[in-house]
Amino acid sequence: MGVGILGLVSSTVFQGLVFAGAYRFVMARRRHRMMAQVPYQPFVSLLKPLHGNEPNLDAHITSFFEQHYGNFEILFCARHANDAGLQTARKVAARYPSVPVKFLTTGEPSYINAKVSSLEKMAAAATSDIFIISDSDVRVTPNYIREVVAPFVNAKVGAVTCLYRGVADEGVWSELEAAGMSIEMTSGVLVANMMEGMQFTLGPTMAVRRSCVNEMGGFGYLGPYCADDFILGNQVAAHGHEVVLSDHVIDHIVLNLSFAASVKHQVRWMKSTRFSRPKGHFGTSLTFAVPFGLLAGFAALALHMPRLALAFVVYSVVARVMLAAVVGKTVVEERHLLRTSLLYPLRDLLGFFYWAASYASSHILWRGRVYRLAEGGLMLPSQIEGDEPMKRSADKTVGEEPLRGR
């Protein structure tokens, strides 16, 4: 029972920190919206790596063309000219002839993280000094560029990133994954930003100065890493520049509709976090509430204290509903607040198992090949790749969902 109570206490402390972080975020957003807008509109290059087609890609790309910002270009890059995603981008671009667009290809990638080859190619062809990198599975509003670049008016700012709300098209598993994006991810970022400032960026939107990219040795520095978003922001901060969490929130579309696809994707993400931020990832275990509520409840029931057992479980569930309601309403402005709030206790329970599964192995499956994650988040070719029995075993524990924008 002691472990369960300890977990309930630690998760309650964490929830208090999340509420404090949410209040801080909301107050900053209100101040920004009340201030007179500074006429700051530098020329911006949107970098969009693509790899294949996906549901509603046309609509996602269209949202980047319909910006209330008159000073930007868009660069798309894929491995080959006949890439289905690149063809979709060409069709969308044809509808917006006033927006400068470039279409690029890399051939076979030079890095184990193939996205980096696209970033290098686009950076070389871009004509601005501010890059905004975004994944293919995000959708934005017309004020996206204007709000994301606003912090760069301060010369000390080297990078800007955005929170995101998960958007699920259909199915309970995609809705649970979306709840994790909207609430669990956001909660962790709010606390990290409040406690130590931003030391990383988030993949769905990474805005960075060209000078900061050059300072770390170019985008090629990210090539050996799985979590390129974490490394990019970490390097910008390590070189003495400020990383800002924008108050703009974007839509991150969940593409995993089945149970298996969703679980594999989330476990792989947990593994990436485990190797990129090992201490923080280990501490994440104490932020879950429902698993410890159930543990304390079962222990109390075994000691013939049914009312106490019920109290433990009910407390953990209500606490997670409250967390989802507060973060969803005030921070990410969740469109399906009731559904997300009611689903989140289950996502909290599943999140603990995803966290535990991240320690099962150091291998991930990406585009049919097995890789091994190493200290610092390095992604290495796996030594077990030629061993078919071992490879089949690894396939059962790692995700097949590709890294976005590859």
Strands 157-168, 242-254: pairing is: parallel
Q: Do 57 and 101 reside in the same domain of the chain? A: yes
Q: Which residues of 102-120 are buried (b: 16+ CB within 10 A; e: fewer)?
A: bbbbbeebebbbbbbbbbb
| pLDDT score, position 262 | 87
- Give the integer Cα–Cα distance in Å for 393 and 378: 22
- What residue type is 357 in one-letter code? A
265 located within any domain: no
- Give the integer Cα–Cα distance in Å for 209 and 100: 20
Over residues 313-336, the pLDDT tens digits come to 999 999 999 999 999 999 999 999
User: Minimum mean pLDDT among 25-39, 58-72, 329-343: which range?
Assistant: 25-39
Helices (H), 217-336: 228-238, 259-276, 278-283, 290-302, 306-330
Q: Does residue 142 register a pLDDT over 90?
A: yes
Q: Does residue 346 register a pLDDT over 50?
A: yes
Backbone angles phi, psi at 200, to 5 degrees: -160, 170
Q: Does residue 210 register a pLDDT over 90?
A: yes
| pLDDT score, position 230 | 95
| pLDDT score, position 385 | 45
Q: How confident is the model at residue 344 (pLDDT cuts 50, 70, 90)?
A: very high
Over residues 228-262, the pLDDT tens digits come to 999 999 999 999 999 999 999 999 999 887 888 88
319 located within any domain: yes
Q: Do 30 and 108 reside in the same domain of the chain? A: yes
> What Rg value do the Cα atoms of the chain yield, rounded?
21
Q: How confident is the model at residue 35 (pLDDT cuts 50, 70, 90)?
A: low
Pair of tokens at residue 348: 């909290």
38 located within any domain: yes
| pLDDT score, position 36 | 55
269 located within any domain: no
Strands 138-139, 242-254: pairing is: antiparallel
| Containing structural domain, residue 387 | 363-395
Q: Does residue 133 register a pLDDT over 60?
A: yes
10 located within any domain: yes
Region 106-130 average pLDDT: 94
Decide: 85 and 50 in contact? Cβ < 8 Å. yes
Beta carbons within 8 Å of 190's beta carbon, 6+ residues apart: 18, 21, 22, 24, 25, 327, 331
Over residues 259-296, the pLDDT tens digits come to 888 888 899 889 999 998 898 899 999 999 999 999 99
Q: How confident is the model at residue 390 (pLDDT cuts 50, 70, 90)?
A: very low
Out of 256, 286, 314, a domain closes at 256
Looking at the 3D structure of the chain, how many domains does it have? 3
Q: Do 85 and 133 reside in the same domain of the chain? A: yes
Beta carbons within 8 Å of 304's beta carbon, 6+ residues apart: none
324 located within any domain: yes
Q: Does residue 376 register a pLDDT over 90?
A: no
- Give the integer Cα–Cα distance in Å for 162 and 128: 21
- Which pTM was predicted? 0.89
Strands 72-78, 101-105: pairing is: parallel
| pLDDT score, position 381 | 84
Q: Does residue 395 register a pLDDT over 60?
A: no
Q: Does residue 399 register a pLDDT over 70?
A: no
Out of 208, 227, 256, a domain closes at 256
Share of the chain above pLDDT 70, in %: 92
- What residue type is 358 in one-letter code? S
Q: Do 41 and 9 reside in the same domain of the chain? A: no
| pLDDT score, position 224 | 93
- Give the integer Cα–Cα distance in Å for 71 and 53: 28
